[in-house]
Structure 1
Amino acid sequence: MARPSEDPQQALAGLLGLGSQSQRKSHYPELQARLEELEAERNRYKWLFENAVHGIFQASLTQGLLAANPALARMLGYAAPQEVLWSLSDLARELFVGGGDELLTIREALQARGGLYGYETQLRRRDGRHITVVMNLLLKPDEPGLFEGFVADITERKLAQLRLQQLNDELEQRVAARTEELREARDAAQEANRSKDRFLAAASHDLLQPLNAARLLIATLGERSLPSAEAQLVERTQQALDGAEELLADLLDVSRLEQRAVQADPADHRLAELFAPLASEFQPVAEAAGLRLRVRLPELAVRTDLRLASRILRNLLSNACRYTWKGGVLLAARRRGGHVRIEVWDSGRGIPQDQLQVIFQEFKQLESGRGVGLGLAIVERIACILGCRVQVRSRLGRGSCFAFELPLTQMPERPAVALPQVQLGDPLPGRRLLVIDNEQSILDSMDALLSQWGCDVLVARGLDEALAALQGRAPDALLIDYHLDDGVVGCDVVEALRRRFDPQLPVVMITADRSERCQSAAQRKAIPLLNKPLKPGKLRAVLSQLLG
């Protein structure tokens, strides 16, 4: 440190290390080394500045761009950095697409926060094109009003994002268009199915009417004493009609089940309500085949749709009678926990083990020429609607057992239904029966069949003709079609005749309509419903039960 007595210039020189030649010489190596370090550092930053991939600049909040690297110039389409050193007014005009308002926003943000990070904006190139960039702007704390910026061109990325968004939009539009096409195709297919169903319903009604008339006439012939040759022809004609009827009815049922047009309507029923009509129907069928039909009926009640459960058992009993040559058929039920297991046994030839599941497929026949192979397919579909599964066990040469389970329930308040008993005598001769149908061929064939059974038959095409034929005297029973002329429904005619003659007038509804509406209408009025083509044996059993 300089002494007070020393000359001030000498003291200053001493502080700077320049006081004497010897002192200056002693400090030269250190200064030279420091200068070289500073030069190397400057060159390194200069190299980084000039060769950086991204644009770098220094700017003043009051003067504009002070320095820029070549990358920024190339990014903006200029040959040298000096060409982009714009003033503030030039920046607003030449560079920023947002103009002066954007510069003001940047300035306020820098002054408020000291920096902007990830700031995305658009810049104007020399050729007039716009590019999208992202900037990091940092206000220098040691030099007020100065800030440095780092710029990355993200135009390609933005274009890629935009293209990706366009592709996504196009894909969504294509998916929406394809979905609409599929929806239209689905709607067209559904409409085609509905049209098919309407056609089948209309065609079935028109086909079943002449089939019904033919069956009744053939049955009338079959009950007469004919020479053997004619009797054989009648029998073969009956078999042909049976096959045509079965195929048509099964095709209609499969179509309705496939379209889910059948819905379950479960209720509590005594088991006798399910077994009694079936026993009455199949007792003469079994006898005609030389078989014995046995029924084991415990005092139990089940919760089910009575009509659908009856259809399952009807198909199973029909198959049992068809495929059994000797012995018998058993319809039985037993309690099994919270369910009732219903079984149909036969003493037929049995089913091979590898065919036990195949038999439930459509048009699958184990023996050619016996049926059309739809009965068990219908059984399986109805079982699914009822929420149960049909099980089968079989032994070759011994027979088969088909079974399904229904929920056990409390006994309903309704009185029990008795199983059919053997009638003492025939209750039909002398009975006065009224037949109402809008098809003259049906009226003629019903007249022939019922007259052959000894009944006094009156026929009519509607309510007015029926009242004229009755002449104020009630019939013993009414046999009526569901669909009559001019949109009249058979149930309405039944109500009119019951009001006029007897509220308990026995009625049998006979129709080719297998719809839910028709079945529900008959069920609500407790009217037995028989489908066309009508089986004479079944009609006789129902009439005998009503009039016996």
Structure 2
Amino acid sequence: MKKPSDEQASDYGIGDLLGFGSQSVRKNYYPALQDRIEELEQERNRYKWLFENALHGVFQGNLRAGFLACNPAMAKICGYDSPEELKHRVIRLREQLFCSSSEFDDLRQELLDRGSLSARETRLRRADSAPVHVAITLLRRPDLGPEVVEAFVADITERVQSREKLVQMNANLERRVDERTAALQQANSGLHYQIEEREKAERGLVVAVQAAQDANRSKDKYLAAASHDLLQPLNAARLMISALQESQLPAEEGRMVQQVHRALEGAEDLLADLLDISKLDQQAMVPDLVMTDAAVLIKGLGEEFEAIAANAQLDFRIRTIPAMIKIDQRMLTRIIRNLLSNAFRYTPNGRVLLAMRARRNALRIEVWDTGVGIEGSKLDEIFTEFHQLLPQGTGGRQGAGLGLAIVERMVRVLECKMDVVSRPGRGSRFALVLPMDVSDEQHTMKPSVGTAQTFAQGFVGAKILVIDNDFSVLESMKLLLERWDCSVVTAPGEEAARAYLEQADELPVAILADYHLDYDQTGSDAIHAIRKMLGRNIPAALITADHSAETRQLMRDQELPILNKPVKPNRLRALLSSLLASG
């Protein structure tokens, strides 16, 4: 409500402005003007209320002096009890309000040049001399004075603190990546001194180490680009070591070969884990769903781990049931293999069971063990990267802690379910639940690579043609196959293979070809050219370090089985058995 004095003052000022006496105004000779004066007074009161109750600081000041007016929020930002105290205490904005005189001078000059500034970050000095981070918007008021400004001030201390924490977190992350890169470099340095083709492997590892150091900028791109170059020397080394393991060696040399085998196996597993986790995080791994005989796949996986079980003196059993499911065979194989690896790794004695169980419209694949078990509070943690159930140095071969992280991501990609039950000291049970359409049982499928039964009678006299542009791989493959009593012919490409076959007295019974050959040629092209030349559909398969879904689909369209590098002897033996059986 307006005071009478205010009304009189307003009437007096307006009357003088219009050239009439106040007497005429009070007598309301101009009722419309009186109404307008009341509206202006109400508007002035509204703006005054907003000014005094605004959440942000608002002030009017002289850049060469102090405050002309300020609201309570501005006083609170600066640490004063009232706007009057702030105006009384701060008489020079440059020296007393701003923490940096140089920042004030820069703001003042830009404001004079442009007329306004919007949301500039700076620091103001509080009553206790502590700095406060603010975002300030300034507007010149030359109508009130040459350096009079109006300002809006927001306290952004929390925003600045959050930004500083984020910078620190990024710095910590970069440090952790550097530490892991250094650890990988150290592991690689110890590896390449133990393999026979030392110089070539060393060059490949130097490339990998250099790429790892650049991982701060692009870890995923590095892993995708380096995979083929790393898998090539690893493949040659694994084949060579496998051949040595099947030779009659003195006890000491045999122990050394076994140590090299374990080192290569660890490097191979780590590389495969890193590649898979990278693809999964990029959402670049698309499921390739095909009809699969789950029982055959499970039996093939079980055969891989029989030797591990025998060496660890564990009771390993497999229980299967007939079941056809539509699934990505590679992802399913990887999930079960990772679960089995963990079961054997953390079971010092007792039993491991791999079982299939039918449920309504679903198939359960379960891995049971009598190992160390997992505490209930840590069940969610085991699926995170670099997490291990036991600390290093507690016995057994340790992994990188990526196996279950890969399992969790692949289960998510396949839109399946995984549940875990475990008791410390008693063991664990991991169950993969796969949807199974009843109509799937009516489908049939051809056995896929890796699910064929092992050729029990050996390969005596079987002539095998091996095509690969890497001479170390050719030598290693020849040495291993000859240990299996095969007759092996090697060629670096299609032209050399055809030249040999034109003069050969005996044709090969199977062809094993690398996918990427020299001069942009492919192994599939070489296989088709040889079959056309001989007029025979000789059984053949591709061996490649290319794990892409596009390559697998292309080879499926051409009905050529694939075996991925690095080649494991038991999978190669199963593949060769399948080829000879189909011939």
Q: How does 1:364-403 map to 2 (within 5 A)?
A: 364-367=387-390, 368=392, 370-372=397-399, 373-396=401-424, 398-403=426-431
Q: In the alignment, what sits opposite 1:81?
A: 20
Residue 487 (structure 2) aligns with: 456
Secondary structure (helix, strand or coil) at the match of 2:457 reads coil
What secondary structure sits across from 1:81 in the alignment?
A: coil
What is the CA–CA distance in structure 1 between the aligned matches of 2:420 and 2:342, rounded to whole Å? 13
2:382 alignment counterpart? 359
Equivalents in 2 of 1:51, 1:284: separation in Å?
102
Alignment coverage as a number of residue pairs: 414
Q: 1:496 aligns with which of 522, 525, 529?
A: 529
Q: What amino acid sits opposite 1:247 in the alignment?
A: L
Whether contact under 8 Å (1:70, 1:81) holds in the other structure is no
- 1:190-220, Cα deviation, whole Å (9 max, x unpaired): x988943332223222222112211211111
Greater alpha carbon shift after TM alignment, 281-290 vs 513-522? 281-290
> Which amino acid is the alignment partner of residue 428 of structure 2?
S
Residues 439 and 272 of structure 1, relative CA distance in 2, 3 Å threshold:
same
Question: Aligned in 2, Cα 1:314/1:296: closer, same or farther, shift over 3 Å?
Answer: same
Q: Write the deviation string for residues 62-97 of structure 1: whole angstroms up to 9, x where unpaired.
A: xxxxxxx434257x5x7x5369x9xxxxxxxxxxxx
1: CA distance, partners of 2:378 / 2:445: 42
Q: Which AA in structure 2 matches 1:221?
A: L
Which of 536, 547, 566 is equivalent to 1:514? 547
The DSSP-based 3-state class of the residue aligned with 1:299 is coil
Measured in 2, the distance between the counterparts of 1:206 and 1:253 equals: 16
Matched, 1:528 2:558: no
Cα gap change, 1:53 to 1:311, in 2 (>3 Å): farther
Deviation (angstroms), 1:486: 2.6
1:315 Cα offset (Å): 1.2
- 1:422 deviates by 6.5
Letter in 2 for 1:517: E
Contact 1:52 1:71 in 2 (8 A): no
Q: How far is 1:223 from its partner?
A: 1.1
1:381 and 1:316 map into 2 onto residues whose CA distance is 14
Deviation at 1:384, TM superposition (A): 1.3
**Equivalent position amino acid for 2:517 in 1:** L
On the 8 A contact 2:367/2:431 being kept in 1, the answer is yes
- Structure 1 residues 211 and 269 mapped into 2: Cα distance closer, same or farther (>3 Å)? closer
Within the candidate set 441, 452, 467, 1:436 is matched to 467
TM-score by length of 1: 0.64
Amino acid at match of 1:438: N
Verify the 8 A CA contact 1:295 1:331 in the aligned structure 2: yes
Deviations 1:341-361 (A, max 9, x none): 111223444444444333323
Q: Deviations over 1:222-273 (max 9, x none)?
A: 1111111111111111111111111111111111111111122444433235
Work out the CA distance in 1 between the residues paired with 2:521 and 2:443.
Answer: 35
For residues 456 and 235 of structure 2, what CA distance do their matches in structure 1 show? 30
Query: Which residues of structure 2 form unaligned runs of 5+?
Result: 25-29, 59-115, 121-134, 138-165, 167-173, 175-213
The structure-2 alpha-carbon separation of the partners of 1:73 and 1:394, relative to structure 1 and needing over 3 Å to count, comes to same
Change (3 A) 1:300 1:222: closer
Report the residue type matching 2:333 in the other structure: S
**How many angstroms apart in 2 are the aligned matches of 1:194 and 1:485?**
31
Residues 357 and 468 (structure 1), Cα distance of their counterparts in 2 relative to 1, 3 Å cut: same
The offset of 1:407, in angstroms, is 0.6
1:219 to 242, 245, 252: 242
Tell whether the 8 Å contact from 1:330 to 1:346 is kept in structure 2 after alignment. Answer: yes
Deviations 1:253-299 (Å, cap 9, x if unpaired)?
Answer: 11111111112244443323532442443344444544554332222
Q: List alignment gaps of at least 5 residues for structure 1.
A: 1-46, 56-68, 86-136, 140-146, 174-181, 183-188
1:318 aligns with one of 321, 341, 356 = 341
1:414 has 2:356 as partner: no
DSSP-derived class of the 1:527 partner: coil
Answer yes or no: is 1:243 the counterpart of 2:266. yes
Inter-CA distance 497–269: structure 2 relative to 1 (3 Å threshold): same
In structure 2, the partner of 1:487 is 520
Larger Rg: 1
- Indicate how the Cα distance of structure 1 residues 456 and 194 shifts in structure 2: closer, same or farther if over 3 A, else same: farther
In structure 2, which of residues 233, 254, 261 is the aligned counterpart of residue 210 of structure 1?
Answer: 233
Residue equivalent to 1:306? 329
Answer yes or no: is the 8 Å Cα contact 2:453–2:578 preserved in 1.
no
Letter in 2 for 1:52: E
Determine the structure 2 residue equivalent to 1:272: 295
Native 8 Å contact 1:51 1:70 kept in 2: no
Identity %: 43
Could you tell me which residue of structure 1 aligns to residue 282 of structure 2?
A: 259
Indicate the RMSD between aligned Cα atoms, in angstroms.
4.2
Question: Per the alignment, in what secondary structure is the counterpart of residue 538 of structure 2?
Answer: coil
Task: Determine the C-alpha separation between the residues in 2 that align with 1:278 and 1:523.
Answer: 21
Q: CA deviation at 1:499?
A: 3.8
Q: Distance in 2 between matches of 1:519 and 1:546?
A: 18
CA distance in 1, matches of 2:322, 2:9: 93
Instruction: Quote the Cα distance in structure 2 between the aligned partners of 1:355 and 1:491.
Output: 48
1:110-143 CA-partner distances (Å, limit 9, x unpaired): xxxxxxxxxxxxxxxxxxxxxxxxxxx978xxxx
Secondary structure, in 3 states, of the residue corresponding to 1:72?
helix
Name the amino acid aligned to 1:381: R
1:445 aligns with 2:331: no
CA contact (8 A) 2:381 2:387 kept: yes
Instruction: Please give the per-residue CA displacement for 1:400-459, whole angstroms capped at 9, x wherever unaligned.
Output: 321110112121432575976564411x22111121222111111111111222111122
Partners in 1 of 2:540 and 2:314 — Cα distance? 31
Farther-moved stretch of structure 1 (278-287 vs 204-213): 278-287
AA aligned to 1:435 is V
Contact 1:286 1:293 in 2 (8 A): yes
**Distance (Å, rounded) in 2 between the aligned partners of 1:443 and 1:350:** 44
Distance in 2 between the 1:323 and 1:365 partners? 10
> What letter is aligned with 2:525?
D
TM superposition shift of 1:51: 5.9
Match of 2:457 in 1: 425
Map Cα deviations across residues 127-179 of structure 1 (whole Å, 9 max, x no partner): xxxxxxxxxx978xxxxxxx986343769989999x99x999999x9xxxxxx
CA 1:403/1:542 → structure 2, altered by over 3 Å: closer, same or farther?
A: same
Task: Provide the residue aligned with 2:73 in structure 1.
Answer: none
Instruction: Indicate if the aligned counterparts of 2:416 and 2:435 stay in contact, CA closer than 8 A.
Output: no
Q: Choose 377-386 or 265-274, whichever is displaced more.
A: 265-274
